[in-house]
Amino acid sequence: MQKIKAVIVDDSAFMRKSLSIILGSDPSIDIVATGRDGIEAISLVKQYKPDILTLDIEMPKMDGLTALKRIMTENPTSVIMVSSLTTEGAEATLKALELGAVDFIPKEMSYVSVNIINIKDDLIRKVKTIVREKALRNRLAKIQKFGGSESSAPVKSTSQILPRIGYKSLALGISTGGPLSLQKVIPRLNGNIKIPIFIVQHMPPKFTQSLAERLNAMSSLKVKEAEHGEIVSGGTVYIAPGGFHMKVKKNLKGEIYIDISDQPADTLHKPSVDVMIKSVFDIYGKNTLGVIMTGMGRDGLEGIKDIKSAGGYCLAQNEDTCVVYGMPKAIVDAGLADVIAPLEKIPDIINMAV
């Protein structure tokens, strides 16, 4: 089996060494070159034609975003950004994902050293999954071309419809490829939607806040990072904060409120789609519409099983428009998807159902 060719570009010698050790520990990955700035990144991609490139954002001579634009134009390559866990780093990372980067990993070594085993396994899994996605470049190009940033985009007729059963909530799980995909869906949701929408996007702290602010600026619905203890309001999109689980509960007055915590502690992802959906289902029952979009892994499968076992409904994104067809595939393979739809149809289907 041919080895995965990887190039690592970072202005920190320590990060270059750390990433080389992490990726090089897997026998199927070959570190073919390393570089220190954006100019070297462009040159190395052209020379080695790697399967995967890890690219720092803040570098001398030429920054990562500038290099990424050039690479995507001249030699399209699967790129994982190395991002600082700051608000500025989050905003730059979201921009990189819009430009065509597939995913990102945190740069802070204090964070990395505490979570080194998880990060090692996660990074290797990401690299292998991304490289296996042979149609990735075409998918990213398709997603970037989808319109719909205007909230007034007209609803198109579609034969793929969900029954109007009087949904009381919508629970959406998404991961790899999510930030760009959500920007093609949330702004196109009808501003008159009255039910709360709960979203888990696998992301570290600070990144979810920047994502929520960006989506809020583009959307008719109010989009915010969920806060512990706040009363749930209809017509609001709640994004789970990175590093914590989001659940909903009822207080003594019967009001539904947001519960943010680090429990359960043994989940693969924090926030977890399963934890969120199961919690939303406990409150809203079969009137919860489950939506599973692009992402690697199977997070969300158990939660959707609960909704379906009670007679509820689920919408899954189709393979052709997913950046990584993992989470929706688990739903489809289990026979739990009532509608399987391309990214550009998802907002229309939701608008007509709720």
Q: Has residue 292 been placed in a domain?
A: yes
Which pLDDT score is estimated for 35? 96
Domain shared by 332 and 233, yes or no? yes
- Take residue 205 and report the two structure tokens written for it: 């702290």
SS3 label, residue 208? helix
* DSSP track, 80-149: EEEE-SSHHHHHHHHHHHHHT--EEEE--HHHHHHTHHHHHHHHHHHHHHHHH-TTHHHHHHHHHH----
Q: What is the CATH number of the domain that holds 246?
A: 3.40.50.180
How many CB atoms within 10 Å of residue 61? 12
Domain count, the chain: 2
Q: Has residue 149 been placed in a domain?
A: no
Q: Has residue 219 been placed in a domain?
A: yes
Whether the pLDDT of residue 37 is over 90: the answer is: yes
Structural domain containing residue 279:
169-353
Q: Has residue 182 been placed in a domain?
A: yes
Render pLDDT for 185-222 as a digit per residue (tens, 0 to 9).
999 999 999 999 999 999 888 899 999 999 999 999 99
Sign of the four-CA dihedral 126, 132, 137, 138:
negative
Which pLDDT score is estimated for 153? 37
- Of 132, 156, 181, the residue at which a domain comes to its end is 132
Q: Has residue 139 been placed in a domain?
A: no
Catalytic residue chosen out of the listed positions 103, 122, 299, 348: 299
Q: If you average pLDDT over every residue of the chain, what do you get? A: 89
Render pLDDT for 58-113 as a digit per residue (tens, 0 to 9).
888 899 999 999 999 898 899 999 887 777 888 999 999 988 899 998 776 444 55
Cα Rg of the chain, angstroms: 20
Q: Please give the single-letter amino acid code of residue 107.
A: K
Domain shared by 173 and 127, yes or no? no
| pTM summary value | 0.87
Q: Has residue 161 been placed in a domain?
A: no
Catalytic residue chosen out of the listed positions 18, 83, 169, 175: 175
Domain shared by 102 and 245, yes or no? no
Domain shared by 182 and 66, yes or no? no
Q: What is the CATH number of the domain that holds 72?
A: 3.40.50.2300
Q: Is 299 a catalytic residue?
A: yes
Least confident of 165-174, 229-238, 264-273, 282-291: 264-273
Domain shared by 200 and 335, yes or no? yes
Q: Is 110 a catalytic residue?
A: no
Whether the pLDDT of residue 296 is over 70: the answer is: yes
Q: Please give the single-letter amino acid code of residue 281.
A: F
Domain shared by 338 and 199, yes or no? yes
- Of 106, 132, 158, the residue at which a domain comes to its end is 132
Q: Has residue 122 been placed in a domain?
A: yes
Domain shared by 93 and 242, yes or no? no
CA distance 204 to 227: 16
Domain shared by 91 and 194, yes or no? no
Render pLDDT for 130-185 as a digit per residue (tens, 0 to 9).
888 766 666 676 666 666 444 333 333 344 789 999 999 999 999 999 999 999 99
Which pLDDT score is estimated for 334? 96
Domain shared by 113 and 175, yes or no? no
Catalytic residue chosen out of the listed positions 202, 210, 272, 279: 202
Q: Has residue 284 been placed in a domain?
A: yes
Q: Is 175 a catalytic residue?
A: yes
Phi and psi, residue 229, nearest 5°: 90, -10
